[in-house]
Homo-oligomer: A and B are copies of this chain.
Amino acid sequence: MGQEFLNIMDPEDVKKIIDDIPTNKRVEKILLGDSLNRVIAEDVRATINLPPFRRTSMDGYAVIAEDTFNASEDYPVSLKLIEVIGAGDVPEKKLRSGFCTEVSTGAPLPSGTTGVVMVEFTESNNAEILIYESAAIGQNITKEGSDVKEGELLLPRDTRITPDKIGVLSAIGMKTVTVYQQPRVAIISTGNEIINPNDKLTYGKIYDINSMTISSAVKACGCIPVHTDIVEDDYSALKNKINEFKYVDLILTSGGTSAGTGDVLREVLDDLGEVIVHGVAVKPGKPTIIGRLKNDEGLKYLFGLPGNPVAALMVFRVFFAPFLMKMASISTLTHSNNNVQTLKLSRRYRPARGRLHYVLVKIEGINAIPILKDSGAISSLAEADGFIKIPKNIEILEKGDSVQVFQLVDF
């Protein structure tokens, strides 16, 4: 009955194999308003000076600084108001000694201005302005290009676009931005027992879970999931389906990877290319497969997840998500390191022998409570807040032991 696994591999070796798979980067131009969380694909240089003109950083009066050098609380200097300039206005009158212009924050400064006195240190008496403070040369003036000069590097390629970075690009009037394309990942659920949502559940069948969970996880990794119908556990059906997707960047299958009777993925991969991983020493997730495809179009690799939904998501998280994020040019750091917490194990736990064991946990306060269900239990997905990793050489974890919990925040 069935085939044996080719060669159960160490998880670190599998990670290395995945890490060595080359990724193709393509770029596209999109609207800035659609660019949140995307990644800039080329250096962006300033096309204008910022600020684009000399302006005041305060509400007050533009003056010739020398006019105010003797001003003090007790002996104010009196200047004649010649113009009022709001933000967006254009000053028409040049400043001369003895005169001043009222300016609002952000307004351009009349030529001749060498300082701005804040409104708090002045008193207005119709067209006569009393200045109670001596203005230093350059005071409250922001020079043209003092923030960023035309031609200067604004954002280097590979910058992730946050609202702040959108602000930087908006400042130079950009409407579109060149970003890396989001890789397309086809998701194929295989199995004679699985049916589509809303279909009538007949005896022996179960609803498809992996199409939905894996495509959501693919999205969370910055890639575009491409759906397809459920494929029966049949050599030709599976081979034809894979051949339909030669244009995508990666295929993810689930099911059809264990050593059981109905498992045809390995046969198909042997024919379309070669199996480079079949079986990993982890629990859950032993029946994980990686195939390299002979194909002149884009598609070069297929990652096969176990059919069991809990195992499929765990293998996806641990082995495949970092690769998808790399394809999508998203730094994996922002997605993982922030989500690790050190908690106390709520009870004694005996892990699997000889395999790296991933255990789903529920978080309650400072406690990590292992979920003691078998990996086929859907309810463990409902309860889990995170997971812990137990290396294969650990025999037992005691109640109260410190464990690193990887939170399931993003996927």
Contacts and interface: CB of A to CB of B under 8 A. Distances in A.
Interface of A: 1-2, 32-33, 36, 48, 50-53, 57, 59, 84, 86-90, 102, 104-108, 119, 124, 142, 147-148, 154-155, 162-175, 191-194, 197-199, 201, 203-217, 219-220, 233, 258-262, 307, 309, 313, 334, 338-339, 373-374, 376-379, 381-382, 384, 407-411
Contacts of A204: 53, 87-90, 107-108
Given A59-B258, A162-B410, A167-B210, 12 more contacts: A2-B59, A33-B216, A86-B192, A90-B204, A105-B258, A164-B213, A164-B408, A165-B381, A167-B212, A175-B198, A334-B409, A338-B407
Contact of A193 (B48, B106, B213): B106
B309 A167 contact: yes
Contacts of A154: 379, 382
B1 A163 contact: no
A379 B217 CA distance: 34
Contacts of A194: 88
A261 B167 contact: no
A23 to B, nearest CB: 22
Given A33-B215, A106-B307, A216-B36, A259 B59 contact: yes
Chain copies in the assembled complex: 2
A78 to B, nearest CB: 17
Contacts of A102: 1, 261
Contact of A197 (B173, B199, B407): B173
A374 B155 CA distance: 19
